Structure 1
């Protein structure tokens, strides 16, 4: 999609751009394509698109847990596998690549070169294992409280984490990630986040809001780590933020479910 010659005569269409963004981030058979510039203009809408993904995952969890009567752990694994599959494992390489870049010694240029390298090191594999394991544990915990709607909240909040990192980062050019970062402004970020918090409240009252706050914290942490190690951010950093944001949303909701 970086070659825009195919789209050079295209006019901006919000609907087409939203569907293009959903096509970009899932394997749903939508097959709507637009230029990367037009698609990323609506980056702030990404969390709302993934409400749909979260609903599908919640249905998967409900069927596994309530209809098939699988235990919470088995259901958590199924839900996580479903989320990874429907999103085309889109951000897992970002988790591994950023982890490899952070782990290597050297200046930012050295770290960026390692992050962009196609090979995967031990740090990347170990970090992916930890993120996946902790996410499954988080899903298990909210299912143990029968908070199935929390699945929708954590998937929506994962994208809020991503755009939080985008807002706080400077783009590494060239790269697809740079388009998302440049199109995330304080105004559209605030609008997006306020609406996400409202949806989370409708789904899970204060528990849902706490989940979104957890995702924002996750996004801030990833942005901070990225600045210290790379100075600039790319798509791998945003991918890490997405997966970390989901994890932090689940962590915060799990704690809130116990205390609230």
Structure 2
């Protein structure tokens, strides 16, 4: 049984903060630095939801600010774009690669090659367009 009254030593707190900053450095464009390797980031994947929530709250704050002076649709587009910028477009890039691989009718080995291809095809474009429009429209519905 874990004693909730036990105080965490300062070294453990520093270790957890370092892991959190490494995850921010990996999942976003925020200049917090990434002191450890990707393997170390992977060991602390349990912090990904914390980073995602913080990035979402940041984008939501900016969206709330934009909503005070702009039409709802413009604020939604800019708010969604803010989230894409904060994440460095990494998730959108992965989605584009996946869209290309999903529509390819060939061997699984070739599909894996397509995932690492730098060119974006029709499948990637369609997936990116659909997700971006869906994200903007859902944002409009929530704030409208």
Establish whether TM, by shorter chain, passes 0.5. Answer: yes
Tell me which residue corresponds to 2:92: 92
In 2, Cα distance between equivalents of 1:60 and 1:75: 9
Cα drift, residue 15 of structure 1? 2.2
What is the RMSD computed on CA atoms of the aligned residues?
1.2
Checking the alignment, whether the CA contact within 8 Å between 2:27 and 2:51 is kept in structure 1 is no
Distance in structure 2 (CA, Å) of the matches to 1:52 and 1:105 = 39
Specify the alignment match of 1:141 in structure 2.
141
Deviation of 1:119 after TM superposition, in Å, equals: 1.4
Aligned length: 130
Structure 2: distance between partners of 1:124 and 1:106: 16
* Match of residue 74 from structure 1: 74
Provide the TM-score with structure 1 as the length reference.
0.48
Give the distance between the partners of 1:33 and 1:103, measured in 2 at CA: 38
In structure 1, the residue matched to 2:45 is 43
- When Rg is computed on C-alpha atoms for both structures, the one with the higher figure is 2
Q: CA deviation at 1:125?
A: 1.0
Structure 1 gap ranges (5+): 1-12, 145-260
Three-state SS of the structure 1 residue aligned to 2:90 is coil
> Partners of 1:114 and 1:53 in 2: how far apart?
30
What is the rounded CA distance, in whole Å, between the counterparts of 1:87 and 1:107 in structure 2? Answer: 32
Bigger RCO (CA 8 Å, 6+ sep):
1
Give the alignment of 1:230-245 within 5 angstroms. Answer: none
* 2:35 alignment partner in structure 1: 33
TM-score, with normalisation over the residues of structure 2?
0.84
Q: Deviations over 1:99-141 (max 9, x none)?
A: 1111010121121112221111111112101110111000000
Mind listing any 5+ residue stretches in structure 2 that lack a counterpart?
1-14
CA distance in 1, matches of 2:51, 2:84: 16
Q: Distance in 2 between matches of 1:60 and 1:40?
A: 29
Q: Which aligned runs of 4 or more in structure 1 are off by greater than 4 angstroms?
A: none
